[in-house]
A and B are shown apart, each in its own frame.
Chain A
């Protein structure tokens, strides 16, 4: 069965040129990130852009390099909605962090 699974994945997996394209895209997106840092754009724009680009890069790595695009949907649905939910729950701390500077003595 394992051999059969490998055959199926091999048949539907990405080709070497596709992997090379993903690698070039990742390098290009990294270049854009470094350019934004060099230009010293405003913090909020910078943070939004960097997070957006990082999520795109992460998605490319997971989909192609980690092969999840070619796995069953059930594997993705088992692993990722829970992970994303837990990560989003951690955002609850950031409101507290934003209030702290104003609560310091003499602020």
Chain B
């Protein structure tokens, strides 16, 4: 009986010395960060939605041209950068470091284009629609507060992601870091993309004006 128990215990995935998730600790740590950061973004999206539902005459300042077209192109940039990130991980898994560095640079180009377009969109709102974080022509300051907080936090994540990818890319070129390090960076980048998949429709498309 005791030998049966010890036999079961020795094959248990939870006995220690073996990851129950069959994954490395860096990747699991990134997953935990992503889950906690998801709740931060969810709280901000709910704050935006709360203000919108509770406020009659919520502003709809996003003209189809240029705002919606710009934000659609931004979405395209992020989605494409996710594909190039997947290719970078794929190349690293095959030991092709130069190809991986190339795909990482492509990913950074997509992220960089997103940031430039987003800043352009912000400047359009600030200069042409006169929206700031505390005030706007429609007398609903919560719009600017929630909009800039949400999109600002997302853009901060994109910028941090670009720095993270730059560090990973130079290390890959110099023969440092393993495939799993690129994969962990990829998880972060895909998460940034994932968050935009909710911000774009709920903030931009729901406030579109022809």
Within the complex, which residue of A46, A61, A72 is in contact with B194, where a contact is CB–CB below 8 Å? A61
A63 to chain B, nearest CB (A): 11
Q: Which 9 A-B pairs have the closest CB atoms?
A: A100-B54, A50-B201, A97-B53, A37-B205, A37-B208, A97-B54, A75-B21, A97-B50, A23-B83
Q: What is the total number of residues of chain B having a CB less than 8 Å from a CB of chain A?
A: 58
Interface residues of A in 33-64 (CB under 8 A from B): 33-34, 36-38, 40, 43, 46-47, 50-51, 53-54, 57-58, 61-62, 64
- B-chain residues with CB within 8 Å of residue A33 when the two chains form the complex: 200-201, 205
B197 to chain A, nearest CB (A): 5
- B-chain residues with CB within 8 Å of residue A105 when the two chains form the complex: none
Within the complex, which residue of A54, A64, A100 is in contact with B198, where a contact is CB–CB below 8 Å? A54
Interface residues of B in 27-69 (CB under 8 A from A): 28, 31-32, 35, 38-39, 42-43, 46, 49-51, 53-56, 64, 68
* B binding-site residues for A, Cβ under 8 Å: 13, 18-24, 28, 31-32, 35, 38-39, 42-43, 46, 49-51, 53-56, 64, 68, 72, 75-76, 79-80, 82-83, 85-87, 90, 93, 178-180, 183, 186-187, 190-191, 193-194, 197-198, 200-202, 204-206, 208, 210
- How far apart are the CA atoms of A47 and B201 in the complex, in Å? 9
Given contacts A50-B201, A87-B42, contact A93 B76 (CB under 8 A): no
- Contact, CB under 8 Å: A61 / B90: no
Within the complex, which residue of B24, B53, B186, B197 is in contact with A58, where a contact is CB–CB below 8 Å? B197
- Contact, CB under 8 Å: B72 / A30: yes
- Contact, CB under 8 Å: B21 / A50: no
List 23 A–B pairs whose Cβ atoms lie within 8 Å, in order of A's numbering: A1-B19, A6-B179, A16-B90, A19-B86, A23-B82, A30-B75, A33-B200, A36-B205, A37-B206, A38-B68, A38-B208, A43-B206, A50-B202, A54-B197, A54-B201, A58-B197, A61-B193, A62-B190, A65-B193, A66-B186, A94-B46, A97-B51, A98-B53
Within the complex, which residue of B31, B46, B76, B206 is in contact with A79, where a contact is CB–CB below 8 Å? B31
- Contact, CB under 8 Å: A90 / B197: no
Q: A61-B190, A90-B43 are in contact. List 9 more A-B contacts (CB 8 A).
A: A6-B180, A10-B93, A16-B90, A27-B79, A37-B205, A38-B68, A64-B86, A83-B35, A101-B56
Chain A, residues 68-106, CB within 8 Å of chain B (1/0): the string is 000110110011101100110010011011101100000
A65 to chain B, nearest CB (A): 5
B74 to chain A, nearest CB (A): 11
- B-chain residues with CB within 8 Å of residue A36 when the two chains form the complex: 205
B77 to chain A, nearest CB (A): 12
- A-chain residues with CB within 8 Å of residue B93 when the two chains form the complex: 6, 10
